[in-house]
C-alpha cells in the first residue's frame, strides 16, 4: 500500500497534480515521519514547484542524517542542473564520485555537463572512466571516440 502511495505521488508530479502529490506525501509522513525516503519525495515536490532553494535545504538536512545517501546526493545534482548552475552540478557530482567512484551514471552525467560547456578534455576523462568501468560496452567506446575526434590532434603515447 505504501509503495503505491509513493508511485502515485511521483506519477502525480509527472502530471502536474500538486494537490494529489501533497495528499500522498502527508499520508506517507504520518506513517513514516522520520523517513529519508519520504523526505526525498518532499524534495521532489519542491523541485516540481521550482522551489529549488527549499529542495536543497531538505536534501541538506537529509544528508546530515545520512551522509552517504546516493539518491539524495543525485537529487541535489538534479536541482543544480535545473537551476542552470553547471558549477554547482559539477561540484555535487564530484562529491558523489569521491564516495562512489564506480558510479558510471554519475560519470556519464558529468561528461555530458562538460560537453555542454565545451570542455572536451574533461569530458574525455569522464568517458574514459566509464570505459574502464564497462570495457565490454561498445557504446561507451564509441562515445569516447566521438569526444576524442572533437578534441582532434591526439597523439598516441607509448
Per-residue pLDDT tens digits for 67-107: 999 999 999 999 999 999 999 999 999 999 999 999 999 99
- Between CA 54 and CA 120 the distance in angstroms is 33
pTM of the entire structure? 0.85
Q: What is the CATH number of the domain that holds 109?
A: 1.25.40.10
Supply the range of the domain harboring residue 123. 101-158
Please state the domain count of the chain. Answer: 2
- Between CA 18 and CA 85 the distance in angstroms is 25
In terms of phi and psi (left: phi > 0; alpha: psi -120 to 50; beta: otherwise), the region of 84 is left
Whether the pLDDT of residue 134 is over 90: the answer is yes
Question: Distances in Å between the alpha carbon of 82 and those of 11, 105, 138?
Answer: 19, 18, 30
Clarify whether residues 66 and 113 are in a common domain.
Answer: no
Clarify whether residues 7 and 78 are in a common domain.
Answer: yes
Domain end call among 50, 83, 116: 83
Clarify whether residues 43 and 120 are in a common domain.
Answer: no
Question: Look-up: residue for cell 541535489?
Answer: 76
The pLDDT, as a whole number, for residue 90 is 96
Whether the pLDDT of residue 157 is over 80: the answer is no
Structural domain contains residue 127 = yes
Question: Look-up: residue for cell 539518491?
Answer: 71
Q: Are 144 and 128 contacting, i.e. CB atoms less than 8 angstroms apart?
A: yes
Clarify whether residues 109 and 145 are in a common domain.
Answer: yes
Mean of per-residue pLDDT scores for the chain? 93
Q: Residues near 2 by Cβ (< 8 Å), separated by ≥ 6? A: 28, 31, 32
What does the pLDDT look like over 122-132, one tens digit per residue?
999 999 999 99
Clarify whether residues 8 and 43 are in a common domain.
Answer: yes
Cell triple for residue 14?
A: 509527472
Amino acid at each position: 500500500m505504501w509503495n503505491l502511495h509513493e508511485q502515485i505521488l511521483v506519477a502525480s508530479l509527472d502530471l502536474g497534480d500538486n494537490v494529489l502529490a501533497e495528499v500522498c506525501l502527508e499520508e506517507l509522513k504520518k506513517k513514516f515521519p522520520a523517513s529519508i525516503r519520504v523526505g526525498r519525495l518532499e524534495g521532489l515536490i519542491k523541485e516540481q514547484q521550482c522551489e529549488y532553494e527549499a529542495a536543497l535545504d531538505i536534501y541538506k538536512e537529509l544528508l546530515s542524517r545520512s551522509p552517504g545517501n546516493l539518491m539524495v546526493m543525485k537529487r541535489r545534482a538534479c536541482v543544480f542542473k535545473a537551476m542552470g548552475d553547471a558549477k554547482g552540478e559539477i561540484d555535487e557530482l564530484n562529491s558523489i564520485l569521491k564516495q562512489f567512484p564506480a558510479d558510471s551514471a554519475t560519470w556519464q552525467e558529468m561528461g555530458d555537463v562538460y560537453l555542454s560547456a565545451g570542455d572536451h578534455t574533461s569530458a574525455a576523462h569522464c568517458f574514459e572512466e566509464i570505459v574502464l568501468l564497462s570495457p565490454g560496452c561498445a557504446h561507451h567506446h564509441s562515445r569516447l571516440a566521438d569526444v576524442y575526434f572533437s578534441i582532434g590532434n591526439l597523439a598516441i603515447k607509448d
